[in-house]
Amino acid sequence: MRTKSILSEAKQIERAVTLIQLGARLQVLESETDLSYERLLRLYKEVAGKSPSKGQLPFSTDWFMTWQPNIHASLFLNIHEYLNKAVELDDIDLVIKAYRLYLEQVRSQGLEPQLSITRAWRLVKFIDNGMLSMTRCSKCGGHFVTHPHEIAKHFVCGLCNPPARAGKGKSGGLQVH
């Protein structure tokens, strides 16, 4: 049992460090590891080289509904859903893996990531508790983050129907399927 608990702790620390490196807020670490607040705080300062930012986590689903964030959130969630079916991982490790792939994909297209790891983590929670959902676009067939009970027959995604002010090219090339 002793060996097991040491291994488990090592894993928790590794997870926490990874999350800090990806820019996660302290609340994410508190929620996803069993490490004490004091240890997490110390770890955070050591890894990030600064104190964690204070203040509330973003709790609203609104951000995910705005145009560009919605495309980024949808891309992340598609990767997450795919991995969820393909590999056996703990929930938080799945978020980490999907988030890394999201970053890779966005950066490979010369775009700035819009979705933080903290928001990606919250997004999965919103999906799990039914506050947000995924709906298939009636035009392109891609799956996008929407409010629950969106009527699929009439749903058109932000890529097929960008707002006039969005112009062209900004999200260009991002494929969400």
* Piece of the chain touching Zn ion by CB under 5 A; list 6-14, 53-61, 101-109, 129-137: 129-137
- Going from the C-alpha of 157 to that of each of 32, 41, 150, the distances in angstroms are 32, 40, 11
Q: Which of 83, 103, 134, 160 binds Zn ion (CB under 5 A)?
A: 160
The three-state secondary structure class of 51 is coil
Output the smallest distance, CB 31 to Zn ion, in A: 33
Contacts of 131 (CB under 8 A, 6+ apart): 61, 148
Answer for which of 26, 35, 145, 157 binds Zn ion (CB under 5 A) is 157
Interface with Zn ion includes 176 (CB under 5 A)? no
CB of 77 vs Zn ion, minimal distance in Å:
15
Q: Which is nearer to Zn ion, 44 or 144 (CB)?
A: 144
Query: Cα–Cα distance between 120 and 130 in angstroms, integer?
Result: 15
Which residues on adjacent β-strands are paired with residue 134? Answer: 145
Residue 63, CA distances (Å) to 54, 70, 72, 103, 122 in order: 20, 8, 11, 19, 11
Which is nearer to Zn ion, 16 or 159 (by Cβ)? 159
Q: Rounded to the nearest whole angstrom, what is the least distance from the CB of residue 147 to Zn ion in the complex?
A: 16
- Residue 174 binds Zn ion (CB under 5 A): no
Q: Kindly tell me which residue out of 139, 163, 175, 177 binds Zn ion, with binding defined by CB under 5 A.
A: 139
Closest approach of Zn ion to the CB of residue 126, in Å: 21
Which of 6-14, 81-89, 112-120, 136-144 is the region at the interface with Zn ion (rule: CB under 5 A)? 136-144
* Sign of the alpha-carbon torsion through 85, 94, 108, 61: positive
Nearer to Zn ion, 31 or 109 (CB): 109
CB within 8 Å of 163: residues ≥ 6 apart: 67
CA distances from 112 to 18, 109, 145 (A): 20, 9, 19
Q: Which residues bind Zn ion (CB under 5 A)?
A: 137, 139-140, 157, 160
